[in-house]
């Protein structure tokens, strides 16, 4: 208990990011179990490819007229960092995920099913631009699909 309190108290805010309320960090917060082996990491062109896809995704979603308003005033630096970590963790790229759970991270955003559809389309465009093989795109999307339940509010 003391160790937990200490760990929470010691959480620091990375440069350029807004502070968030302390939470327990765990890979389990990523919302999916990682792939095994290296095939998916290779299909996404390694850590560099994952970073390019996450960066491209954020660039697309903040400019996507269907969902751009949702990102106004949000911490884009933190979002970029955590999407890279989450994707890298799930693709078995050797990263740890240090963000909140999908439910906590999207609480009070009022997200609807259509918002998830728009984000997934933007992710597909980012993966296409990186020339990720179609079957690998779909295997990754299948990992993300169950997260819809946690991010959509009704």
Stretch that binds ligand HEM, among 4-12, 34-42, 76-84, 129-137 (CB under 6 A): 76-84
d(CA 71, CA 46): 28
Token pair, residue 65, equals 């007229």
Return the number of the residue (51 or 115) whose C-beta is nearest ligand HEM.
Answer: 115
Residue 82 binds ligand HEM (CB under 6 A): yes
d(CA 120, CA 17): 25
Residue 116 binds ligand HEM (CB under 6 A): yes
d(CA 54, CA 44): 11
Contact 91, 54 (CB under 8 A): no
Token pair, residue 81, equals 């960092």
Contact 95, 88 (CB under 8 A): yes
Among 74, 113, 129, 138, binds ligand HEM (CB under 6 A): 74
CB of 42 to ligand HEM, least distance (A): 21
Per-residue x/- marks for ligand HEM, 86-105, CB under 6 A?
x------------xx----x
The contact set with ligand HEM (CB under 6 A) reads: 67, 70-71, 74-75, 78-79, 82-83, 86, 99-100, 105-106, 109, 111, 115-116, 119, 144, 147, 151
């Amino acid at each position: 208990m003391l160790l937990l309190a200490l760990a929470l108290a010691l959480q620091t805010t990375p440069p350029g990011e807004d502070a968030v309320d302390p939470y327990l960090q765990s890979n389990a917060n990523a919302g999916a179990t990682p792939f095994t082996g290296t095939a998916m990491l290779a299909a996404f062109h390694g850590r560099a490819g994952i970073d390019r896809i996450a960066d491209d995704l954020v660039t697309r979603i903040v400019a996507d007229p269907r969902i751009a308003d949702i990102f106004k005033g949000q911490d884009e630096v933190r979002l970029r960092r955590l999407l890279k970590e989450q994707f890298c963790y799930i693709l078995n790229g050797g990263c740890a995920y240090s963000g909140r759970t999908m439910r906590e991270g999207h609480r009070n955003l009022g997200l609807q099913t259509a918002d998830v559809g728009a984000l997934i389309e933007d992710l597909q465009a980012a993966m296409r631009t990186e020339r990720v093989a179609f079957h690998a795109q779909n295997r990754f999307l299948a990992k993300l699909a169950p997260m819809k339940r946690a991010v959509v509010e009704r």
